[in-house]
Chains A and B, each alone.
Chain A
Amino acid sequence: MSTMTFGRAINAGLRRAMDNDPKVVLMGEDIGKLGGVFRITDGLQKDFGPHRVLDSPLAEAGIMGTAVGMAYRGYRPVVEIQFDGFIYPAFDQIVCQVAKLHYRTQGAVKMPITIRVPFGGGIGSPEHHSESPEAYFTHTSGLRVVSVSNPQDAYTMIQQAIASDDPVLYFEPKRRYHVKGEVDEAADPASSDMGAARVVTEGTDVTLVTYGPLVPTARDAAVAASDDGTSIEVIDLRSLAPIDFATVEASVRKTGRLVVTHEAAQSGGLGAEIAASITERCFDYLEHAPVRITGFDIPYPYSKLEFHHLPDLDRILDGVDRVMRRPNSLSGLEGAPTPQGAAQ
């Protein structure tokens, strides 16, 4: 076990994957000499050479399309998209090519591409640098989508993503890059499943589902709620596509209440999918309609406003109050609890 930052853990995971498989190549903007704008690939070009760590021209579709060709030839490209908001020029290649080539070729050609995306807000950046585009990709058949929330997962899951014969979008919560944690570098990535959600905190009253940057926030909310006598079970989804519904469903059958929180906008987001699926799967166990606590359906706001936009501990606890039928911001804090069945 060693203590390292989130960012260092990804770096260590990349290094181990490159050590283990000469076909692993890294591609992206500024990832070589500079080590990436977040320094996640720091030192890797020096140690593995420019043929395995490519400083690419500044063109996201170009990076993604050439990664497809490299994968076609038998390589395992790991692509860095510099910021979440810069992934859209590569959207066509990801959705029409990366996601569909295995299907189109009946499995003759595999696309073991890992697409690393620093995502989410909270770092005071200008426009296009704080987005949460994961739902665009979870909606696309052929892709796997994961999001990591702690250094150990960051270290292990980057290796699992690279080892997967399917394309994986790997969403990194950039505002947590400097968080430190214990990492077992000897852990065998093959001994765990990146598709499995994890129960972070056990509880009996409310199931609180989240992923990526909001996992620590959800954990804090659970601690705060327990002081008030409410027992929250926090689930870190880890895999956003496919979603481990078995774990979420088992929890909701126990608690009867579901709150989902993410930074991405509400409409058509992961929260909608989880709320609908859990309602279909175990409606009879629900004590209250599922509640979503998310970013608003507005373009990501100016950095001076972003903490009004991002779900925080109080907004999450407000959602908990709603499913617990306590006074909340919708019912009026002094007023009557939300009547059963009322629109949320």
Chain B
Amino acid sequence: MNSSRLPAAEFDVEEVVRAAHPADTADLEPGTEMLRVLSPDGTMASGLTARIAGETVDFTPYLAADAEHLRSLYRDMFLIRRFDQESTALQRQGQLALWVPLTGQEAAQIGSGRALAPQDYAFPTYREHGVALTRGVEFAEILRLFRGVTNGGWDPRERNFHLYTLVLAAQALHAVGYAMGMQRDQLADPSLPPAASIAYFGDGASSEGDVHESMVFAASFDAPVVFFCQNNQWAISVPSSVQAKVPLAQRAAGYGFPGIRVDGNDVVAVEAVTRWALEHARSGRGPVLIEAYTYRMSAHTTADDPTKYRLSRDEQEWQSRDPLVRLESHLRSAGLADDTFFGDLDAEARTMATELRRAVLAMTAPDLADRFAAVYAEPHPLIQEELRFFEQYEAGFADEGKHA
């Protein structure tokens, strides 16, 4: 067979870069408004309105831009990036099996996470370290999975933050089902505070059937759920143009609920838009899709090599839109934070990293025997039988050391 006659399965890197990253992303897809408050140069708009699903929505009441709040957003973003760097180092040194970097996506994650109310419930992918921080998950707890001592790391019920889901998009359906449960709880007890769930997924996972089905179910049952898609441009090595030919936010129209594209590197806009969407969902008006347009500045995981599929020029372009740099510019130019603030934060982050390293090195695996007990909620004779065998077998090696 002459393979040159077949349609090209590959994409041209130069072409992709031109398509996905023109100089001004506002021109990227005509007709798609990308909501933004904080510009890459650090200037902040005083309000935000947009046409959403045929209606003018004023997001201004949802903007939180007082000095203390902005500093706390910066602090979260700074700490989680430092955490990301330390985790990458731990993996390189063989202390973690794998690491999934989030650098570049801090604003999308911190902004959306900070918009959540305590009674809301978040369903993450495996990259939502920033959202985890906003839900009170300890830094070291996040690394337990990557250290290989658990499949989870925290009690999801204590944080209203589900464990990481590694099978793409499966959690989108869980978020919808959970929201349907919230809906029924509210019916049974109207005194409960209105609540919503939020489903995180990426541009790659947007192609999964589970995302489609979750949006169908959410629309059918008016489930109080927000779909939060971080379009970080790359599904490992495949650009988002292979996943979608129209802006992902526009897909919401096909399901009959609002879709919003927000500058995912603008933490202030992300938070405001997410707060609006959550309120929309909690008030019984149904789901919302948010597409946070951002960029994965690092590799997909520590096992990935982005130099094989994207250009350094591409990466450099996005560095000028770095979510931390733009908020720092704003804080400095508006006189909201000075060198002391940034110096203190750096010291705090270094202490955090040191403690994190100590905690990771101290992590040990539980007994395999414990794992038998966790499979079922109720007694299971065959698992118990295999456990008895395992323990007997292991006991046979108990004296091995003495005779060595």
Most B CB within 10 A of own CB, among A22, A103, A104, A108: A104
**Cβ-defined contact, A96 with B213, below 8 A:** no
Q: Is A8 an interface residue (CB 8 A)?
A: no
* 12 new A-B contacts at CB < 8 Å, known A100-B151, A166-B376: A62-B173, A62-B210, A66-B174, A69-B181, A69-B197, A72-B178, A104-B152, A105-B155, A108-B156, A142-B376, A242-B382, A244-B381
Interface string of A26-68 (1 = CB under 8 A from B): 0000000000000000000000000100101101011011111
* Chain B contact patch, size range: 35 or more
B residues in contact with A51, CB < 8 Å: 184, 187
- In the bound complex, residues from chain B placing their C-beta under 8 Å from that of A144 are 376
1/0 per residue, CB under 8 A from B, across A7-26: the answer is 00000000000000010010
- Once the chains bind, are A105 and B213 in contact (CB under 8 Å)? no
From the candidates A59, A72, A112, A242, name the one contacting B177 in the complex (CB within 8 A).
Answer: A72
Residues of A near B377 (CB, < 8 A) are 102, 107, 110, 112, 164-166
Cβ-defined partner of A195 (8 Å) among B179, B180, B214, B381: B381
Using Cβ atoms and an 8 Å threshold, which residues of chain A touch B167? Answer: 92, 96-97
Chain A, residue nearest B220 (CB):
A57
Docked Cα-Cα span, A243 to B383, in Å, equals: 11
Q: Which listed residue (A69, A71, A105) contacts B175, Cβ 8 A?
A: A69
Q: For A73, give its contact among B177, B187, B382 (CB under 8 Å).
A: B177
Chain A residues positioned under 8 Å from B267 (CB to CB): none
Q: Is the interface of B mostly helix, strand, loop or mixed?
A: helix
A-side residues, CB < 8 A to B, are 22, 25, 51, 54, 56-57, 59, 61-62, 64-75, 89, 92-93, 96-97, 100, 102-110, 112, 141-142, 144, 164-166, 195, 242-246
Contact B213 A59 (CB under 8 A): yes
The reply to whether A69 and B177 form a contact with Cβ atoms under 8 Å apart is: yes
From A89, A108, A245, contact of B157 by CB (8 A): A108
Is B375 interfacial (CB 8 A cutoff)?
A: yes
Separation of A80 and B172 alpha carbons in the complex (Å):
21
Mark interface residues in B246-262 (1 if CB within 8 Å of A CB, else 0): 00000000000000000
Residues of chain B within 8 A of A102, CB atoms compared: 374-377
9 pairs of A and B residues whose beta carbons are closest in the complex: A69-B177, A65-B173, A73-B181, A66-B177, A62-B213, A165-B377, A69-B178, A69-B174, A242-B382
Query: Interface readout for B343-382 with A: 1 if CB under 8 Å, 0 if not?
Result: 0000000000000000000000000000100111110111
The answer to whether A105 and B216 touch across the interface, beta carbons within 8 angstroms, is no
A165 to B379, CA, bound (A): 11
Inter-chain CA distance A122–B382, complex, in Å, is 33
Task: Tell me how far the C-beta of A280 lies from the nearest C-beta in chain B, rounded to whole angstroms.
Answer: 12
Does residue B90 face the partner (Cβ distance < 8 Å to A)? no
- Determine whether B163 belongs to the interface, using a CB cutoff of 8 Å to chain A: yes
**A246 surroundings in chain B (CB, below 8 A):** 381
For B217, what are the chain A residues with a Cβ–Cβ distance below 8 Å?
56-57, 59, 62, 66
Interface mask (B143-185 → A, CB under 8 Å = 1, otherwise 0)? 0000000111001110000110101001011111111111011
Give the distance in Å from the alpha carbon of A104 to the alpha carbon of B154 in the complex.
10
Most A CB within 10 A of own CB, among B217, B221, B371: B217
B86 to chain A, nearest CB (A): 25
Shortest distance between the CB of A55 and any CB in chain B (Å): 9
Q: Which residues of B contact A244 (CB under 8 A)?
A: 381
Which of B157, B188, B382 is packed against the most chain A CB atoms within 10 Å? B382
Contact yes or no, A97 B170, CB < 8 A: yes
- Cα A120 to Cα B133 with chains together (Å): 50
B209 at the interface (CB under 8 A from A): yes
State the Cβ distance, A31 to closest chain B Cβ, in Å.
15
Give min CB distance, A270 to chain B, whole Å: 14
